[in-house]
Structure 1
Amino acid sequence: MQTPSHAGTVIVIGGALKPGSDAVWQRIVDEAGGAQAPIAVFPTAAYDPERAGAQIVAALNRCGARAEIVPIAPHLAGVDLQATLHDPAVIARVAACKAVFFSGGAQEYLVDTLQPDGRPTAMLDAIRAVFAAGGVIAGTSAGAAVMSRVMFRDAMDNLAVLKGLWRAGQEYDRGFGFVDAALLVDQHFLKRGRIGRMLPAMQALGYRLGLGVDENAAVVIQGALLEVIGGSGAVLVDLGEATHDAALPAFNLRSARLSYLEPGDRHDLASGETTPAPHKLREPRLDPAAPGFQPGQQSDRYFLDILGDGCILCAMTQLLDGPAPEVRGLAFRANPRPGDLAPDIGFEFRLHRGPGLCGWRSGGVAGEGYTVLGARLDVVPVRVASPLFTPLAAEPPR
């Protein structure tokens, strides 16, 4: 992977930051220059831009910034959107900032406003100038989705994307491209099971690397260097060694590599090397292939909803620190929806051990945490019975 030539810092927030997440807000301010750093807040994606913008400004200013709302949003009452968007004074004020923050909401509002029909406005050019000058571009949820060259536009149904619902301008669109062109970014990743849309998107678009940031977590990106901060973590997806069978009539994949990074973990996209948080290095390294390995988990769970809240992470940690060399789960819809492309098709996710699988386990007040590196994943299309089950019939009396 090539290192981006940009001088700035990107901070991708997975959404739903919890109270007490000042470490994330403070990092934005610090990277922007510290106390009194001027930060432009764009509530463009928000459904209630006044409220969302005010909350973001308050969080940044509590950490010492000098943040202000840029009143550009389709849902902002009493503001002439186009006049403000093209106002030279507003553009100049943004260009003079040290950081820009995009709110959550609907990412299509961001690209349709700042990059209509794929053409950057003068305002987006000003934002790019902030970045090129070494500034910070940060965003949460929808504001994180726009960071890559291509973004998920409206692909809320992970299983539908797995089944092939994938249209330019609908499920995906052009993003702003603040991260390396070879990296696809997604958010709300573990909470919403978005591994289900990340994998087929990467295959369809020719991406090797994907970054899925969970809720209440952020990833600081400086060139090729990633650092996880916040209260949760991020999944790295690598399709560099992955293959698929073109003869199969549904999405399939073999030998994808998944890694999970927690706060304090760092990763170099250029070298592929991960450095765990310092406190984890004080713990024994977990290597299931090492002689005498003793698993810390005894679970042999089969995941009947592998796209459920946090299930892919649970499967990864079970693979690393459990007794079995393979962990499996199913993605399917028991109640098919009208218009379902293939109501009887599901997908079995098979995580298995391979060369390079290792990790670290650490305890804390919130429970055990893991860094997992190099879990192998196959996705196999399967036919699911409908109905999936039938009630047992009563037996005649003897």
Structure 2
Amino acid sequence: MSVRCKLLPFFLVLSFSVPAISASPTPSGTLLLIGDVLSFNQRIVWQRIFELSGGDAADIVVIAAAHSRAKLYGGYAQRALSRYGPFVELLPLAVSPAEFNTHYRQAAHNPELVEQVQESNAVFFVGGAPQHLAEVMFSETGSPTPLAMAISQVYAAGGVIVGGIPGAAGAYTDIDAMRVLKQGQVPNNQLYQGLGLLAEGLYADQHFFS
């Protein structure tokens, strides 16, 4: 596993070459794990995300499925990124059908949404509850949805995956870093599935706690 780390204001940028669920042999994307809520006014960070996503060629999709108010906070991230380029879209994904008038299980299999992700070069995850994100990314049997596979393909092709707390948890093989840090090793049935973009057993905590 090769790792490149670079500090930027307010968050740590990590670029890993590790196996992803798409089974691509040489993923070469960049993971940006945001360690706190990213303020609208932290323009230097938003701009850097945009630059790493391709600059003028950036095509970014925003996923706020982890948040209980996906439309509101997903729209917040969309507006923040749209200050630097026009191709930023919020995907209609939420556990609550009232958010977008869609069911998340169906949306995660929607060919149009899957194609939209495949054609992007960056995916921005808004924070929220990790279990909500896991419900969208994986079926009831635990297999990755077409949407999850598309996200992994973007990363494997050299794209950028951005995760805000705890949207960043989606990068792990198993989600729930807080419980792992507090208790050490925990049973697999107490963890949610992640996209597997980080090596198995590797976690990054998005919070400080005592």
TM-score range, shorter chain: 0.7 to 0.9
CA RMSD of aligned residues (A): 2.3
How far off is 1:11 after superposition?
A: 0.5
Corresponding residue SS for 1:186: coil
Aligned residue identity for 2:71: E
* Separation in structure 2 between the aligned mates of residue 19 and residue 121 of structure 1, nearest angstrom: 31
* Separation in structure 2 between the aligned mates of residue 121 and residue 25 of structure 1, nearest angstrom: 29
Corresponding residue SS for 1:16: coil
- Structure 2-normalised TM-score? 0.79
Deviation digits for residues 70-107 of structure 1 (CA, Å, limit 9, x no counterpart): 11111241213233221112211110001011111101
Deviation digits for residues 114-160 of structure 1 (CA, Å, limit 9, x no counterpart): 1234311111111111111111111100211121222217739x7xx
Is 1:42–2:63 an aligned residue pair? yes
Is 1:107–2:130 an aligned residue pair? yes
Deviation digits for residues 173-216 of structure 1 (CA, Å, limit 9, x no counterpart): 3321212335322212x2xx1xxxxxxxxxxxxxxxxxxxxxxx
* Separation in structure 2 between the aligned mates of residue 30 and residue 135 of structure 1, nearest angstrom: 12
How far off is 1:112 after superposition?
A: 1.9
Higher relative contact order (CA 8 A, sep 6+): 2
**Structure 1 stretches (4+) deviating beyond 6 angstroms?**
none
1:1-398 correspondence runs (5 A): 2-3=1-2, 4=17, 5-35=26-56, 37-77=58-98, 78-116=101-139, 117-152=141-176, 155=179, 161-162=182-183, 166-170=186-190, 172-181=191-200, 183-188=202-207, 190=208, 193=209, 307=210
Structure 1 segments unaligned to the other structure (5+ residues): 194-306, 308-398
* Separation in structure 1 between the aligned mates of residue 177 and residue 187 of structure 2, nearest angstrom: 10
* Separation in structure 2 between the aligned mates of residue 84 and residue 173 of structure 1, nearest angstrom: 20
User: Contact 2:40–2:80 (CA<8 Å) still a contact in 1?
Assistant: no
Aligned residue identity for 1:128: S
User: Contact 1:36–1:65 (CA<8 Å) still a contact in 2?
Assistant: no
User: By percentage of residues, which structure has more strand?
Assistant: 1
Deviation digits for residues 336-372 of structure 1 (CA, Å, limit 9, x no counterpart): xxxxxxxxxxxxxxxxxxxxxxxxxxxxxxxxxxxxx
User: Contact 1:41–1:69 (CA<8 Å) still a contact in 2?
Assistant: yes
Corresponding residue SS for 2:204: strand
How far off is 1:36 after superposition?
A: 5.1
Residue in 2 aligned with 1:329?
Answer: none
The percentage of counterpart residues that share the same residue type is 32
Whose radius of gyration is greater, 1 or 2?
1
Distance 1:22 1:180, change over 3 A: farther
User: Contact 1:144–1:186 (CA<8 Å) still a contact in 2?
Assistant: no
* Separation in structure 2 between the aligned mates of residue 101 and residue 76 of structure 1, nearest angstrom: 21
How far off is 1:56 after superposition?
A: 0.5
Aligned residue identity for 2:46: W
Distance 1:112 1:130, change over 3 A: same
User: Contact 1:14–1:141 (CA<8 Å) still a contact in 2?
Assistant: yes
* Separation in structure 1 between the aligned mates of residue 151 and residue 54 of structure 2, nearest angstrom: 17
Distance 1:142 1:130, change over 3 A: same
Structure 2 segments unaligned to the other structure (5+ residues): 3-16, 18-25
* Separation in structure 2 between the aligned mates of residue 14 and residue 65 of structure 1, nearest angstrom: 26
* Separation in structure 1 between the aligned mates of residue 51 and residue 32 of structure 2, nearest angstrom: 12
User: By percentage of residues, which structure has more helix?
Assistant: 2
